[in-house]
Amino acid sequence: MISIRKRGKTYHADLVKGREHSARGSLGTRNEDAARRLTHRLETALSEGPNSSCWPELSKLLPRGTFLRFSSLVGVTEKQLPTWNDLQESFKTHMAQRVKLGKLSANTVDRYNHTLKEFEFFLAERRIILLGDIRKPFVESFKVWRIERIKRRKHSRGASSIPLDAAILHRAFSFAIENEMIEKNPVRLEGRPGENPEGGAEPFTADELLRLRQHAGDDLLSFLLLRWTGFRGSDAVRVSFKEIDLLAKEANRLTQKRKKRVVIPLQSELLFALEVVRERRNPAPDDRVLLNPATGKPLTRPGLYRRMVALGRRASVANVHPHRFRDTFAVDMLVRGASPYDVAKMLGDTIETVEKHYMPFVKELRERVRNILETGVGLEELAQKAAESLQIPSKKPN
């Protein structure tokens, strides 16, 4: 029987047989409940002998000296079972290799690392180390925990990132399977990331755009570039002057995410702003277009996000972030009469994505269809006109 006692600030374990101490040592925790859980696992490991599956986990949880004193009682030969840290380090190395091969973007790696860090924090709170202890119910509880964390954030879009988090974790554990670290994937996917049958595009209204423009101030160029190009935030901050052809009045860029070439005609308001900036700054071809007004240095993607959020607060417009300008650009083009093909070419996206994401859920498009239904010529009107054209006028009596 192992007893626990508090010595200083941490709890210690004592295994006593007869009148002598067989083993003792620090449990490395100040929490009594955690100490009792460790003690219970230690007792289980001792009773099961040197081949107990508890020993590899205890080797990670207990201070080294304590583990060696207790494990030596039953002659344990340590087995190195894979841990979450082992998987995370190997997977990060794998991603770095794919970036060098041009098969993965740095932005994608940043998003993967964000989810991995959140999952690591969740594991640490529950003192889970071994991959074998990460099972489906545990991952499902992570999703619930993650949703609550997302909801507590300002300007959050609810649980919209859960499908992406699940997809990232599923890929990481698939990598573990490929490398024979585990046998089954504990992550259940939550549909395709980005798909939300209850949502869709979220363009700004005309009134919101007016207020954003009026309060743009030092962020006017960022506002105009996002408003009239539909660039993702990652592309907007990376646009250089060599990609802006003022004579042809076009922006020509290979998109960061999809690696597709987009050539976008520069709207007159944006064109004038770029001409003013070029004349004032006399930039080199590789210089970035967007600078942080606070520092004068090239604007970063997080910096752009923060400045758009601040702009939204100044203009009293809720939920302002760079991607809403992309939604606005796409919907605005459709409302003006552009085809899904035109919009897809400008966005560097597929026609299917444009039709699914922008067309069905936007009030402006429904109103455009309503106007066509009310004022256009349909099947019945065409038939009536055809019948009228075939009618022979009757002769007037003499």
pLDDT of 22 reads 76
Q: What DSSP string describes 277-341?
A: HHHHH---TTSBS-B-TTTSSBPPHHHHHHHHHHHHHHHT-SS--HHHHHHHHHHHHHHTT--HH
Q: CB–CB of 326/232 below 8 Å?
A: yes
Q: CB–CB of 42/70 below 8 Å?
A: yes
Q: What DSSP string describes 195-250?
A: --TT----PPPHHHHHHHHHT-GGGHHHHHHHHHH---HHHHTT-BGGGEETTTTE
pLDDT of 372 reads 75
pLDDT of 60 reads 77
**Dihedral of the alpha carbons of 119, 104, 189, 194, in degrees to the nearest 10:** 100
Residue 232 corresponds to which amino acid?
A: R
Q: What is the distance between the alpha carbons of residues 186 and 136, in angstroms, rounded to a whole number? A: 5
% residues pLDDT > 70 (the chain): 89
pLDDT of 101 reads 86
Q: Is 102 left (phi over 0), alpha (psi -120 to 50) or beta?
A: left
Phi, psi of 182 (to 5 degrees): -140, 170
Whether pLDDT at 128 is above 60:
yes
The predicted model gives 298-322 an average pLDDT of: 94
Whether pLDDT at 324 is above 70:
yes
Least confident interval from 12-26, 34-48, 112-126, 344-358: 12-26
pLDDT of 156 reads 47
Q: CB–CB of 347/359 below 8 Å?
A: no
Average pLDDT for the chain: 86
For 375, other C-beta atoms within 10 Å of its C-beta total: 7
Residue 47 corresponds to which amino acid?
A: S
Q: What is the pLDDT of residues 326-385, one digit of tens each?
A: 999 998 988 888 888 999 999 999 888 888 878 765 666 677 677 777 776 777 777 777
pLDDT of 364 reads 65
- ∠ CA(77), CA(130), CA(29), 5° rounding? 85
DSSP-assigned beta bridge partners for residue 3: 14
Q: CB–CB of 273/318 below 8 Å?
A: no
Q: What is the distance between the alpha carbons of residues 49 and 71, in angstroms, rounded to a whole number? A: 9
Least confident interval from 193-207, 318-332, 350-364: 193-207
Q: Higher-confidence residue: 236 or 21?
A: 236
**Which SS3 state, helix, strand or coil, does residue 264 take?**
strand
Q: At what angle do helices 64-71 and 54-61 cross, to 10 degrees?
A: 150
Structure tokens at 31: 């929490």
- Sole residue written with tokens 């700054």: 281
Residue 366 corresponds to which amino acid?
A: R
Q: Higher-confidence residue: 19 or 47?
A: 47
Confidence of residue 157 (pLDDT cuts 50, 70, 90): very low
The predicted model gives 305-330 an average pLDDT of: 94
Q: What is the pLDDT of residues 261-295, one digit of tens each?
A: 999 999 999 999 999 999 999 999 999 999 999 99
The pairing of beta strand 10-17 with beta strand 20-26:
antiparallel
Of the candidates 326, 323, 328, 353, the residue with the CA atom closest to the CA atom of residue 340? 353
Confidence of residue 199 (pLDDT cuts 50, 70, 90): low
pLDDT of 21 reads 52
Kind plus residue range of the DSSP H or E element containing 3: strand 2-7
The predicted model gives 231-245 an average pLDDT of: 96
pLDDT of 195 reads 56
pLDDT of 92 reads 94
For 209, other C-beta atoms within 10 Å of its C-beta total: 18
The predicted model gives 185-198 an average pLDDT of: 72
**Residue 234 CB-half CA count within 13 A:** 12
**Which SS3 state, helix, strand or coil, does residue 135 take?**
coil
For 108, other C-beta atoms within 10 Å of its C-beta total: 17
Q: What is the pLDDT of residues 59-117, one digit of tens each?
A: 878 887 888 888 888 888 665 678 999 999 999 999 999 988 888 888 789 889 999 99
For 150, other C-beta atoms within 10 Å of its C-beta total: 17
Structure tokens at 379: 């099947």
pLDDT of 197 reads 47
The predicted model gives 30-49 an average pLDDT of: 90
Structure tokens at 330: 């796409």
- ∠ CA(365), CA(164), CA(359), 5° rounding? 10
